[in-house]
Chains A and B, each alone.
Chain A
Amino acid sequence: MASRSGESEAEEEQHRRVPLRERPEWSDVTPLPQNDGPNPVVPIQYTEDFVEVMDYFRAVYVADERSPRALALTAEALQFNSGNYTVWHFRRLILESLKIDLHSELGFVERMAAGNSKNYQMWHHRRWVAEKLGPEARNIELDFTKKILSIDAKHYHAWSHRQWVLQALGGWENELNYCTELLEVDIFNNSAWNQRYFVITRSPFLGGLKAMRESEVLYTIEAIEGYPENESSWRYLRGLYKGETASWVNDPQVSSVCLKILRTKTNYVFALSTILDLICSGYQPMEDIRDAIVALKTTDMDKQNNDDDEIGDQQNLNIARSICSILEQVDPIRINYWIWRKSRLLPST
Chain B
Amino acid sequence: MSRESEGETNSSAAEAAPPCPTVTQRDQWMVESQVFQIYQLFATIPPNAKTLMLELQRDNHMEFLSKGLRHLSSSFSVLDSNRPWLCYWIFHSIALLGESVDDELEDNAIDFLNRCQDPNGGYAGGPGQMPHIATTYAAVNTLITLGGQKSLASINRDKLYGFLRRMKQPNGGFRMHDEGEIDVRACYTAISVASVLNILDDELMQNVGDYILSCQTYEGGIGGEPGSEAHGGYTFCGLAAMILIGEVNRLDLPRLVDWVVYRQGKECGFQGRTNKLVDGCYSFWQGGAVALLQRLYPIINKQMEGTSQIFTISDVSEEKGILDGTSSHATCHDGRHEGTSESCSSDFKNIGYNFINEWRAQEPLFHTIALQQYILLCAQEQEGGLRDKPGKRRDHYHTCYCLSGLSLCQYSWSKHPDSPPLPNLVLGPYSNLLEPIHPLYNLVLERYREAHEFFFAES
Contact = CB atoms under 8 A, between A and B. Distances in A.
A44 B108 contact: no
A159 B229 contact: yes
B82 A202 contact: no
A89 B177 contact: yes
Contact of A222 (B16, B68, B127, B176): B16
Contacts of B311: 280, 317, 344-345, 347
A178 interface: no
Given A239-B218, A334-B261, A188 B275 contact: yes
A231 interface: yes
Given A45-B72, A85-B132, A235-B274, A336 B80 contact: no
Contact of B304 (A40, A83, A153, A344): A344
B338 interface: no
A227 B18 CA distance: 11
B365 A340 contact: yes
A318 interface: no
Given A34-B128, A36-B112, A226-B13, A45 B307 contact: no
Interface string A176-217: 000000001111111100100110001000000000000000
Given A36-B112, A124-B181, A245-B307, A333 B129 contact: no
Interface string B215-232: 001111001110111110
Nearest to B266: A333
A343 B88 CA distance: 40
Interface in A15-46: 32, 34-37, 39-46
Interface stretch (B2-10, B33-41, B42-50, B400-408): B2-10
Interface in B341-378: 363-367, 370
B16 A184 contact: yes
Contacts of B69: 41-42
A263 interface: yes
Contact of B77 (A35, A50, A120, A348): A50
A123 B224 CA distance: 14
A61 B126 CA distance: 14
Interface string B303-321: 0100111111100000000
A209 B370 CA distance: 39
A238 B41 CA distance: 40
Contacts of A153: 23
B310 A190 contact: no
B456 interface: no
A190 B364 contact: no
B307 A281 contact: yes
Contact of B13 (A160, A225, A245, A333): A225
B147 to A, nearest CB: 16
Nearest to B273: A190
B430 interface: no
Given A232-B275, A337-B366, A282 B310 contact: yes
Nearest to B229: A194
Given A156-B224, A185-B22, A191-B229, A85 B130 contact: yes
B18 A160 contact: no
B119 interface: no
Contact of A86 (B13, B81, B308): B81
Contacts of A44: 72-74, 76-77, 79-80, 83
Contacts of B112: 36-37, 39-42
B227 A81 contact: no
A230 interface: yes
Contact of B17 (A187, A232, A313): A187
Nearest to A195: B229
Given A85-B125, A226-B16, A230-B275, A281 B309 contact: yes
A344 B128 contact: no
A131 B436 CA distance: 46
B10 A222 contact: yes
A35 B115 contact: yes
A112 interface: no
A339 B363 contact: yes
A300 to B, nearest CB: 21
A80 B229 CA distance: 31
A22 to B, nearest CB: 22
A325 interface: no
B275 A231 contact: yes
A348 B313 contact: yes
Contacts of A82: 78
B124 interface: yes
A95 to B, nearest CB: 12
A120 B225 CA distance: 13
A153 B23 CA distance: 9
Contact of B228 (A83, A156, A242): A156
Contacts of B74: 44-47, 50
13 contacts: A37-B112, A41-B69, A42-B72, A43-B71, A80-B77, A83-B81, A163-B228, A189-B275, A190-B273, A222-B12, A226-B13, A235-B218, A239-B217
Interface of A: 32, 34-37, 39-47, 50, 54, 58, 61, 80-86, 89, 92, 116, 120, 123-124, 127-128, 153-154, 156, 159-160, 163-164, 167, 184-191, 194, 197-198, 202, 222-223, 225-227, 230-232, 235-236, 238-239, 242, 245, 263-264, 266-267, 279-282, 313, 316-317, 332-337, 339-340, 344-345, 347-348
4 smallest beta-carbon distances between A and B, as pairs: A239-B218, A282-B309, A188-B24, A186-B22
Given A40-B108, A84-B81, A185-B18, 5 more contacts: A36-B127, A81-B78, A85-B125, A186-B24, A339-B363
